[in-house]
Copies of this chain bind each other. A is one copy, B any other.
Amino acid sequence: MRYFKIPEEAVRRLPIYLRGLLSLSEQGHKNISSKILAGFLGVNHWQIRKDLSYFGGFGTPGTGYNSKKLIRQIRKILKLNVVHNTALVGVGNLGTAVLRYPGFEMFGFNIVAAFDNNPEKIGRRVGDITIEDVSNLQALRQRKIDLGIITVPCEAAQETFNKLIAAGIKGILSFSPCYKTGRKKVKVITIDIAIDLARLPYYMPARRITKV
């Protein structure tokens, strides 16, 4: 049960399990077996048990997992047991959509600030947040903001990245691939919408002559 190395893939799946547990728990399930959770999420039950076992055994043989308890455990492992203040940079179309995205709350994320370099946007509000000038980025540390979301256009990505690092941010979710991390002390997760779409046609069945 003491493993020396926890697979990256197991970490990647924990938030998925957490989402499933939250849904099932809300539906009234007090005890959830790996099979029930697996069925709900469409994954393998032994994968779930294996993944959880890397972090320690949280279940009861014959019964399953206590949903509230397991939710608490996974939150703790992922460091989601504290609220993470988050800043977003780049309030364009995508940035606005992310600011209004309703899915973050479930995991304890709180987007508390938004930045842009366009003077026309500064001072405007999106939801509860007033857009600030990017020069305010340097004060993130004092404001207890530890995560950053980058939604700027490609050409501004590198500069934004550097500023967030300089401001002492601890993790970055970026929607732009256009940067080099340099010395990578900070974990960066990149979502590139176009690149995900780009591999979709590969899996399309070859065209047939007969009508489908």
Contact = CB atoms under 8 A, between A and B. Distances in A.
Given A198-B80, A202-B11, A101 B109 contact: no
Nearest to A180: B42
A3 to B, nearest CB: 16
Nearest to A107: B198
A195 B96 CA distance: 19
A10 to B, nearest CB: 10
A35 to B, nearest CB: 16
Contacts of A97: 92-94, 96-97
5 contacts: A15-B199, A16-B177, A79-B201, A93-B96, A170-B201
B146 A197 contact: no
Question: 3 closest A-B pairs (Cβ-Cβ)?
Answer: A187-B203, A103-B194, A15-B198
B194 A104 contact: yes
Interface class of chain A by DSSP: mixed
Nearest to A23: B178
A199 B11 contact: yes
A205 interface: yes
Interface of A: 11-12, 14-16, 18-19, 42, 77-80, 84, 86, 92-94, 96-98, 100-104, 106-107, 109, 146-147, 149, 153, 168, 170-173, 177, 180-181, 187, 189, 191-205, 212
Contacts of A173: 193, 196-197, 200
Contact of A201 (B80, B198, B200): B80
A78 B147 contact: no
A81 B202 CA distance: 11
A172 B199 CA distance: 11
A102 B193 CA distance: 10
Given A78-B199, A201-B79, A101 B94 contact: yes
